[in-house]
Amino acid sequence: MDDFILTHLASELSVFGDVEILPRVDVPESAHRPRRGQYLASDLKELTASFPHDKVLGVVDVDIYEGSNRFVFGLADVKGRSAIISLNRLKGDAETFKQRAAKEALHELGHTFGLRHCQDRSCVMTFSKSLADTDAKQKDYCQFCALRLRTAGVFP
């Protein structure tokens, strides 16, 4: 796993306070779906549950999916503690890779703070079906989502 990405994520997520980033989560065979050549995201998300931080973000390299989605970039519970992102489909040149990873991490953490998907395609909380969606959105919460985070006491 690329350490510069983890360093970048740590700095991007520092605004959230007690968020633990778990790099190189030990990916269990039980989450593997060999016929798809992928891992079930919800199984991997569970791995982060035992850590004593307010929020825990697992970062994996394997390709993940959930439900009827061909793949997902990440998964989190709304108002939950744990989230997971996969770097598998986010690679590009260093700057692009950093931006994509930060967007998907901010997106999943936004869910843990109670945000749902946003209709604003430039908001980081819009759902990314494809890398084009990820590249098209900003690394920021729209005014509406940011206000909800402030109201929830996440941001000062």
- Our finding on whether 5 is near Zn ion (CB under 5 A) is no
Binding range to Zn ion, per CB under 5 A, among 1-9, 21-29, 33-41, 123-131: 123-131
Identify whether the C-beta of residue 83 lies closer than 8 Å to the C-beta of residue 93: no
- Our finding on whether 41 is near Zn ion (CB under 5 A) is no
Three-state DSSP class for residue 10: helix
- Our finding on whether 142 is near Zn ion (CB under 5 A) is yes
Per-residue buried b or exposed e for 76-90, using 16+ beta carbons within 10 Å of the residue's own CB: beeebbbbbbbbebb
Binding range to Zn ion, per CB under 5 A, among 29-37, 38-46, 77-85, 145-153: 145-153
CA–CA separation, 138 and 76 (whole Å): 20
- Our finding on whether 72 is near Zn ion (CB under 5 A) is no
- Our finding on whether 123 is near Zn ion (CB under 5 A) is yes
Tell me how long the chain is.
156
Looking at beta carbons only, is 32 or 117 nearer to Zn ion? 117
If you ran DSSP here, which 8-state letter would residue 149 be given?
H
- Our finding on whether 145 is near Zn ion (CB under 5 A) is yes
Q: Please name the residue that has the structure tokens 């009827």.
A: 68
Out of 13, 125, 149, 154, point to the residue binding Zn ion (CB under 5 A): 125
- Our finding on whether 64 is near Zn ion (CB under 5 A) is no
- Our finding on whether 109 is near Zn ion (CB under 5 A) is no
The CA-atom distances, in angstroms, between 141 and each of 58, 102, 119 are 21, 12, 12
Residue 108 appears among annotated catalytic residues: yes
The residues annotated with a catalytic role in the active site are: 108
Where do contacts with Zn ion occur on this chain (CB under 5 A)?
118, 120, 123, 125, 142, 145
